[in-house]
Amino acid sequence: MQTIHSITELQAVLGNERAANKRIAFVPTMGNLHEGHIQLIHQANRNADITVASIFVNPLQFGENEDLDAYPRTLQSDQEKLSAADCDYLFAPKMEDMYPNGQVIQTLVEVPGISQLHCGISRPIHFRGVATVVCKLFGIVRPDVAIFGEKDFQQLMVIRRMTEDLFLPVEIQGAPIARAESGLALSSRNGYLSEQEMEIAPTLNRTIRETVAQVISGNHDYSQLEESAQQQLEEAGFKRDYFNICRRHDLQPAQPEDKELVLVAAAYLGKARLIDNMVIDL
């Protein structure tokens, strides 16, 4: 695997691959990689001739009092994991190259509506930062296909909408959530959990599955189900953020007549903010 820091060098290298009619897959990350990220690489390898991963901790998607400075930077370990997974190129750009005019006057990409829901309520600038950096990375890498994990279902929806609205020639693929044996969704932020919190954390996924089972069995009092689940999580030691049963296509609140749903949830446990989801077909 070749690690490249320069935008110009990466574009030249990928230009040669493109000239050889190679199909390019792209996996953007913020590093501190775990098995979930590696599964994205494997999916990319299956869908293209060349796989490019990026590692860039993007400041635009962090709000005040969030963990930008504390976010783990583990480049050497990440390089070893990517190489073992048969990634072809790692793009690890410098901050000044990604934001040459600074962040204050950076052109911003915003996906209205869907970005203001769920995670967007407690993290109002987050998806604007995500959409901006992903759009920039698409312009640099020019991939044929890009792979995003389904753990952050709302982020995947934002990226799909942005790509469609801006007519970007990139196929967006979702990848199934990677989980520990306990059911806990794998996340870089799981590293913030204490040993005791790691025992509590799977309660989030368990509560989601129990709620989904009630929906499938015919209970469509969604607001009651959501509040009951929130209380259950608080009793287990979580601080609530959201627990919402939504229409899958636009993430608006589900109605009894809706058939394609998704349950999206986020909750705080100690220093970690955990997210998870589960689709529901009625």
Which residues are catalytically annotated? 37
Q: What is the largest CA-CA distance in the chain?
A: 58
Structure tokens at 205: 């996924």
Report d(CA 137, CA 26) in Å as an integer: 9
Contact present, 187 and 150 (Cβ < 8 Å): no
Q: What angle do CA 161, 162, 163 make, to 5 degrees?
A: 90
Phi then psi dihedrals of residue 41, to 5 deg: -65, -45
Report d(CA 130, CA 23) in Å as an integer: 25
Burial of 49 (0-12, 13-18, 19+ CB in 10 A): middle
